[in-house]
Structure 1
Amino acid sequence: MEQPVAYEESVQGGQVNGAGVMRGSASYEMTSSDIARVRDFIREFLTTAQTVHGWDVSARAMDVALLVASELATNVCKYAPGPCLVDLECDGTTLGIVMWDSGPILPAASAADPTRIGQHGLELVLMVCQSFEVRREPVGKSLRVQIALPDSPDNNPSGHTTW
């Protein structure tokens, strides 16, 4: 069951300014219906970043964030069923997504195989994120990604790193 969403913002000099950081957290039981709830949480978070702070969140960044959320949440449902925590952090230029679960097995991308059906989620995440990191935690693991929010004038993701 989804827990209440909590947003928190760093405060400098009594107010959030352009250099501030917006954070959000939500927890889920990670049933298949929670995958859509994770996407909704991220969509709402980025929409708030746009409307409240005026931060540039390109359509590409929104689509990438929702795709990454779907892939990471699907992997939790398949391989680490049980409670999951999603932490978001945005500074106006990047979105950080951390997904914590209780599964002990660390994910690894499969070798390229054009005949393989399915199991391409991690490969997709690696292609579209600026960074990807997996950490073993005292219980389970956390997956951390960074996504560039604005696009450059030539419509390329700013700061994108190819793998």
Structure 2
Amino acid sequence: MNDSRLRQAPAGDGSRAFSVTFERHGFRIADARDAARRFLVGSPDGGEPALPVHVVEATQLVVSELVTNAVKYGSGPMELSLLLAGDTLSVTVRDGGATLPRHWSADPRRVGRHGLEIVAALSQDVEVRREPTGKRITARISLDEPVLAGSRAVQPDEQPMSR
């Protein structure tokens, strides 16, 4: 990760939080996906539980879509934060752009602008808020969704399986 600031902290209530700020120059969206994945799969020494593959994959796609939108339509540094608490994972992306994203109605003929549709389909809810220095978008992903047949936990040294 180029020019990023990384913070990871366990909370006293059993939740875990992660935050990283990416500067626009030298940034790759894959860096954000990789950072989220490393946080989610836990430590290689087994200190943190691994999450089901479907949660890791959904989170990587949500991160990719939200960060892509921040790169395309936002300004300034981008902050990616994840909060794992109880049965929910919150994915938040902040940037300095003042324009709030628009949720388009579903249209399979439309090329592009499906990011928030994808995020909403993978999340319990999506919250968009204007902030004094830009905007914040938070998607909440359920950890309690039924596990698909053949799913398993992702271990820290392996890549999520494609379906």
Q: So what's the TM-score if we normalise by structure 1?
A: 0.80
Q: Tell me which stretches of 4 or more aligned residues in structure 1 moved more than 4 Å.
A: none
Judged with a 3 Å threshold, the aligned counterparts in structure 2 of structure 1 residues 31 and 129 are, in CA distance, closer, same or farther, namely farther
CA distance in 1, matches of 2:43, 2:146: 19
CA distance in 2, matches of 1:8, 1:66: 20
- Quick check: 2:100–2:130 contact (8 Å CA) kept in 1? yes
- Quick check: 1:28–1:34 contact (8 Å CA) kept in 2? no
Q: How many residues align?
A: 147
CA distance in 2, matches of 1:153, 1:7: 27
CA distance in 1, matches of 2:106, 2:26: 27
SS, match of residue 36 in structure 2 = helix
CA distance in 2, matches of 1:54, 1:92: 13
Matches within 5 A, 1:73-88: 73-88=67-82
Judged with a 3 Å threshold, the aligned counterparts in structure 2 of structure 1 residues 73 and 30 are, in CA distance, closer, same or farther, namely farther
- Percent of aligned pairs with the same residue? 34
SS, match of residue 69 in structure 1 = helix
CA distance in 2, matches of 1:115, 1:42: 31
Judged with a 3 Å threshold, the aligned counterparts in structure 2 of structure 1 residues 126 and 32 are, in CA distance, closer, same or farther, namely farther
Matches within 5 A, 1:45-60: 45-48=39-42, 51-54=46-49, 57-60=51-54
Give 1:92 deviation, angstroms. 5.0
Judged with a 3 Å threshold, the aligned counterparts in structure 2 of structure 1 residues 117 and 99 are, in CA distance, closer, same or farther, namely same
Give 1:148 deviation, angstroms. 1.6
| Greater Cα offset, 133-142 or 29-38 | 29-38
Give 1:48 deviation, angstroms. 1.3
Identify unmatched segments of 5+ residues in structure 2.
150-163
- Quick check: 2:129–2:136 contact (8 Å CA) kept in 1? yes
Q: CA RMSD in A?
A: 2.1
Q: 1:53-90 CA distances to partner (integer Å, 9 max, x unpaired)?
A: 325x1111111000000100110111013211111111
Judging by fraction of residues, say which structure has more helix. Answer: 1
Identify unmatched segments of 5+ residues in structure 1.
12-18, 156-163
- Quick check: 1:30–1:73 contact (8 Å CA) kept in 2? no
Q: 1:14-48 CA distances to partner (integer Å, 9 max, x unpaired)?
A: xxxxx501111100024584311110110010011
- Quick check: 2:52–2:147 contact (8 Å CA) kept in 1? no
SS, match of residue 100 in structure 2 = coil
- Structure 2 equivalent of residue 107 of structure 1: 101
Q: So what's the TM-score if we normalise by structure 2?
A: 0.80
